[in-house]
Amino acid sequence: MSDKPSPYSLEGKLVLVTGAGTGIGRGVALELARQGADVALHYAASTQGAQEAAEQIRALGRRATAIQGDLGVVADCRRVVDEAAAFLDGLDALVSNAGVTLTLDFFEVTEDHYNRVYNLNARGEFFCTQQAVKHILARGEALRRQFPDRVWAGGTIVTVSSVHGLVGRPGHSVYAGTKGAINAFTRELAVELSPLHIRLNAVAPGTIEVPSYWKIDPDYSREAANKTVPWGRVGLPQDVGYLTAFLVSDASEFMTGQVLYFDGGLTAKMALDGFPCPG
């Protein structure tokens, strides 16, 4: 019987998840740990959420730490990645989830609005990835030495995009632009890093119920939101965790450069309710 682990297992994987103090990032970090990974959780302001999630992960018998940083600042991007790698003793994967949304009329967008969203969503993504790749390559060399008879399945970067990178909705001129940039960055860098055996894929969620929904709209209800999704329900952070766990696992070794729309059929649906179907 082979002692090689299942390609779906995350046992022994060392992962940094950014923006993991709340919402999708927290759900992803917890699911990765349930699947066997040790996790460093980055957070910006959600101190309590990140620390509680780290405690939950440690209760599962996995290693975890919470690291604060403003990823809109390049120096913090590098520091957070380095601290995560130092705590975990390396990096197999980066889940680059940190980001900020903005819903604002195009004519009301200021230079400060633009810079704040792009500095975190696009620039932060770039420099966290740049720093993480260095650690992932070092980890690959260490694994080759430790298991000379096994082929290294490679490292992985999972970027978090959005359906807004594909379809339009009023008020998202800045936010959608950053997600389109993430999609292009993911595809391009997947090609550039393939010779180094590092794969990149983007998860592009649709309606994923997170705590900020109630902050934006106190009258938000899941029942009403469920009716807007063809599949019949909104997504939850753990749903994104399931897909991300696959992308981090060795089972996804042949997949790179893909943008995976994870939206219950939202982007597949023609937005012409109440009108005759053309053609």
Q: Which of 40, 30, 20 is nearest to 132 (CA)?
A: 40
Catalytic residue among 161, 173, 249, 252: 161
Is 43 catalytic? The answer is: no
Catalytic site residue from 179, 249, 252, 261: 179
Contact 8, 87 (CB under 8 A): no
Catalytic residue among 162, 173, 249, 252, which? 162
In the set 13, 175, 249, 252, the catalytic residue is 175
Picking from 97, 83, 89, the residue whose alpha carbon sits closest to that of residue 32 is 97
Contact between 195 and 237 under an 8 Å Cβ cutoff? The reply is no
Strands 258-262, 198-205: parallel, antiparallel or unpaired by DSSP? parallel
Asked if 33 and 66 touch (Cβ cutoff 8 Å), the reply is no
Q: Of 9, 30, 196, 22, nearest to 101 (Cα)?
A: 22
Helix extents (H) in 147-217: 173-193, 212-216
Distance CA 238, CA 236 (A): 5
* Residue whose structure tokens are 């109630």: 214
Task: Tell me whether residue 179 is one of the annotated catalytic residues.
Answer: yes
* Alpha-carbon dihedral angle through residues 10, 11, 12, 18, given to the nearest 10 degrees: 40
Residue that the structure tokens 């969620």 belong to: 205
| Distance separating alpha carbons of residues 12 and 182, to the nearest angstrom | 28
Distance between CA atoms of 105 and 170, rounded to whole angstroms? 7
Q: Is 162 noted as a catalytic residue in this protein?
A: yes
Which value, to the nearest 10 degrees, does the dihedral of the CA atoms of residues 85, 90, 92, 97 take? 0
Q: What are the residue numbers of the active site? A: 161-162, 175, 179
